[in-house]
Every structure is written in structure tokens, then in C-alpha cells.
Amino acid sequence: MRFAALILLAALTTSAQAPTDVVGWGNIKWGMTLAEAKAALGADAVVDGIDQYPIRLHMDNVQIGSRKGTVSLYTKDNSDLVNSVTLGPEISSSLQDFSASIVFDDLKVMLIDKYGQPISYGKQPDPLGGRSSVMTTVVWSFPSTIITLTMFSDAQRHKGSVTVNYRQADKKALGTL
């Protein structure tokens, strides 16, 4: 019994540790120019209009966990520097609300495996939806990045959507918390 406990303790201490900081998403780092980000994403990345805000760069058919989806890069107003990335995994069109919850749960497990336990988890009525609409969020926080996994679901309409947003942390705001 004691030997089994020692093996379990060794396995837990050698498992992957959560990173101390996250400075972007994948090859996209905060402060990259749109040209640098496009080069990092590859030829399939599409500029969504250099003067258009909020989406500045977009790419379809991106691998998100075990699914395909889209990635959108954002900048602040009047800036060319990337400060946010949103991933939108594809959700089956049949039983969309049910599929959204499966995608949400899969991504939550994947993000916990990669980044450790979230700092918050909550459900609330969707502020833009009907009475049956619910917004579920899970948040991870690092010195440079806030990661938010969000699911909007509406059981009455059988619709749902899931996004993962990586955004550059506002270091001024962090000091006031």
C-alpha cells in the first residue's frame, strides 16, 4: 500500500506543471505586428481589411484540440499589434446545444491539462439571450494573458456556441486587483 502511494506521489509530481506565464497563443505572441502574425499563421491566413476593427486576421480549418475551427486575431483600435486571439471550434449542426456542451467539456479538460486549474468557473443567464439562454465561462489568468473558455447555450432553440479567447492582460489593471 505504501509503495503504491509512493508511485502515485511520484507520478503526480512528475506530471506536466502549469506554465508560470502565457505570452500569446501558439506561434502568435502579444505585440507582434499583423504582418508577423500572418507569417506565423501561414498562407491561409486572410487579412480582414487593414482598417477594419475588431477582426484583423482570420483563418479557417485550424486544428483546435481534436476538432477543426477558426482563429481570429484582433488588435486595439488604431494599432497594428496583436492583443487577442479567439478560437471558434466547429460544432455539429444537428443537436447543436448538446454538441456545444461536448465541445466545451473537451476543451475545458484540454485547457486544464495544459494550464492547470482555472481561477473561476461560472454560469449565468446570457445577457443577450432569451430566458433559456445560459453563458458558462471558465477563466485562467497569467501575468501576460487571460484565457476565457465560453459557451452560450439555449436549450429551447437547440443552439450553442463555444469560443476560447486568449487576450493580453492589462498590466495596469492587474495592479489594482
pLDDT in tens, 37-53: 999 999 899 887 655 55
Residues (pLDDT < 70) of the chain are 1-16, 49-55, 93-98, 126-132, 155-158, 171-177
Q: What is the pLDDT of residue 172?
A: 60
Q: What is the pLDDT of residue 86?
A: 93
Q: What is the pLDDT of residue 133?
A: 82
Residue 9 parent element (H or E): helix 2-14
Task: Give the pTM.
Answer: 0.80
CA dist 61 and 45 (Å) reads 10
Handedness of CA 10, 11, 14, 19 (dihedral sign): negative
Residue identified by cell 498590466 is 171
Residues contacting residue 104 through CB under 8 Å, at least 6 positions apart: 136, 149, 151, 162
Q: What is the pLDDT of residue 1?
A: 43
Q: What is the pLDDT of residue 99?
A: 81
